[in-house]
Structure 1
Amino acid sequence: MIKTLLVEDKPYIRKALISLIEILDKGLTIIGECGSVKEAVTVVQACKPDLIFLDINLSDGNAFDFLMQTETFKYKVIFITAYDEYALKALKVGAIDYILKPVDIDELEIAIDKVIASNTTIEKEQISKVRERIESNRLIVSLQDGYQVIEVDQLKFCKSDRGYTTFYLNDGKTILASKPLKFFMEQLPSSKFVRIHQSCIVNLDYVEKYDKSGMVILKCNQRLSVSIRKKEEFLSKLLNK
């Protein structure tokens, strides 16, 4: 989840931007809307957003006044404005991107993807540091309040939905992480884990049977579908395990 704040003095523009963000469905959660520097500073202090969509000209000042007053807080900025003369200045203060009004959904998606990529890079660096102190047979999952360590041997399978991944453990517990399946696939040992569907990874140690109808039956009687595209790779790893 990326906590997102909209700082724009025109309500109809905020409404349109929210609609586009919802259509893109990139894991952004709107935590507030502001039309002035004063309101925005208060919300940042109270809610500590991860990302701010920031208009240049606000009802009681401008974006750079706001940035000066909140410089001690860590957040990413995407400028949204009707004036392109501010582009260079915006980028100099470290903005992720700069979008001109009216907002184009493709340009918005590119800007949001930059934020996600930036977050992923930082998180991978953090996980790398933690991993140095943790055995390699464990998976580290970043949560809002810290890190969850999962014993790889206890992980039966994991499934993704709209950018989130749910881990299903042998003891019946589930853990939800706000990262796509691909992010974790790169960290799991390829000798044990195989992707059987675009949205599912399974631990071969827990596979009881493969049904020719295209279903994997786990030792816990859980049934998972194998996609046609992933069938060959799955069977190859299963038969040669």
Structure 2
Amino acid sequence: MKTILVEDKAYIRKGLLNLLNLIDTDLEVIGECESVEEAVVVANACKPELIFLDINLTDGNAFDFLEQTKDLSFRVVFITAYEEYALKALKMGAVDYLLKPVDIEELKTALLKVKTLPISIQKDQIRTVKQVWNPDDSKLILSLHDSFQVIDLDELMFCETDKGYTSFYIRNGKKYVVSKTLKTFEEQLVTANFTRPHQSFMVNLKFIDKYDKSGVIHLKNGKKIPVSTRKKEQFVASFLNRTIE
């Protein structure tokens, strides 16, 4: 069974490879990847039959990878650190997963199950997991360095993107940074009453205190956000519509 290891930490990949060599001679590890981008390329090119898939990767998460692969003709075993929300999603979807550090007996059990699981059933399970993972448009799940953070969009004041990273500023003063561009979140944020007045910012309309016609937004916490000339007309329309409501 052609296998790919998708995990952003080299020592975990090495440990998993050692365990696989100990317990299963039918698996052939044909590739190791540490990012969504790399995994998509390798999976589409090599057509693996099994993928051990870390949920939290350097440039996204497991579901970003699954959305970008051409098909789901391979079986999946998720790998995750102990995070309550992640485990809840995986258990409700009944998809096989391994906790870090990987236990050899749990690995044996997962391999036994995955070899007999029809691909069609796995596809349904993964769809269920994805729905649980991000159940509605009122919340956003951020993949941080060592955890998954649930954000209530009603409490999110604004986002700022810079050099491939996006910072999320919450009403309570907390700030979270992820290694994704703002474009990744734009569609969901627009449906949640956010506007994009500038290429580098998205703003929750409910937190705007006033707008200077010179092209500056004043938030209720005192933060000033520029409105680009190109986006000025669109922003003003959004702002006035929100005010009327």
Q: TM-score, normalised by structure 1?
A: 0.52
Q: Which SS does the other structure have where 2:222 is aligned? A: coil
Partner of 1:130: 133
Question: Per the alignment, do residues 128 and 186 of structure 1 end up closer, same or farther by CA in structure 2, a change over 3 Å counting?
Answer: farther
Unaligned runs of 5+ in 1: 6-28, 33-41, 49-66, 80-89, 95-114
CA contact 2:209–2:218 (8 Å) conserved in 1:
yes
Q: How does 1:94-105 map to 2 (within 5 A)?
A: none
Deviations 1:115-171 (A, max 9, x none): 989973437966533123xx5421121224342110111100001112211000111
Secondary structure of the 1:145 match is: coil
Q: CA deviation at 1:215?
A: 0.6
Q: Does 1:120 align with 2:64?
A: yes
The residue identity in structure 1 corresponding to 2:188 is Q
Deviations for 1:166-216, whole angstroms, at most 9, x for unmatched residues? 000111110011111011111124351000111100001010111122110
Q: 1:145 to 1:123 in 2, by over 3 A?
A: farther
Give the match for residue 157 of structure 1. 158
- Structure 2: which 5+ residue stretches go unaligned? 1-5, 18-26, 49-58, 69-126
Q: Distance in 1 between matches of 2:210 and 2:230?
A: 19
Mapped partners of 2:142, 2:239: distance in 1: 26
What's the secondary structure of 2:236's corresponding residue?
helix
1:204 aligns with 2:148: no
Amino acid in the other structure paired with 1:231: K
Question: Does the 8 A contact of 1:127 with 1:140 survive in 2?
Answer: no
Q: Deviations over 1:74-114 (max 9, x none)?
A: 653868xxxxxxxxxx94455xxxxxxxxxxxxxxxxxxxx
Match of 2:14 among 13, 35, 45: 45
CA deviations 1:217-236 (Å, max 9, x no partner) are 00111001110111111110
Change (3 A) 1:77 1:137: closer
The separation in 1 between residues aligned to 2:204 and 2:143, in whole angstroms, is 21
Alignment length (residue pairs): 154
Aligned position for 2:191: 190
**Rounded Cα–Cα distance in structure 2 between residues aligned with 1:118 and 1:231:** 37
Residue 103 (structure 2) aligns with: none
Structure 2 letter corresponding to 1:147: F
Identity %: 36
**Which deviates the most, 173-182 or 144-153?**
144-153
The answer to whether 1:240 aligns with 2:237 is no
- Distance in 1 between the 2:234 and 2:226 partners? 14
Matches of 2:138 and 2:156, distance apart in 1: 11
**For residue 225 of structure 2, what is the amino acid of its counterpart?**
L
C-alpha separation between the residues in 2 aligned to 1:202 and 1:153?
A: 11
1:178 and 2:179 aligned? yes
How far does residue 46 in structure 1 lie from its aligned partner after superposition?
Answer: 6.1
Q: Aligned in 2, Cα 1:117/1:232: closer, same or farther, shift over 3 Å?
A: farther
Q: Quick check: 1:219 aligned with 2:163?
A: no
Distance 1:47 1:231, change over 3 A: farther
Matches of 1:47 and 1:171 in 2, distance apart? 40
Partner of residue 109, structure 2: none
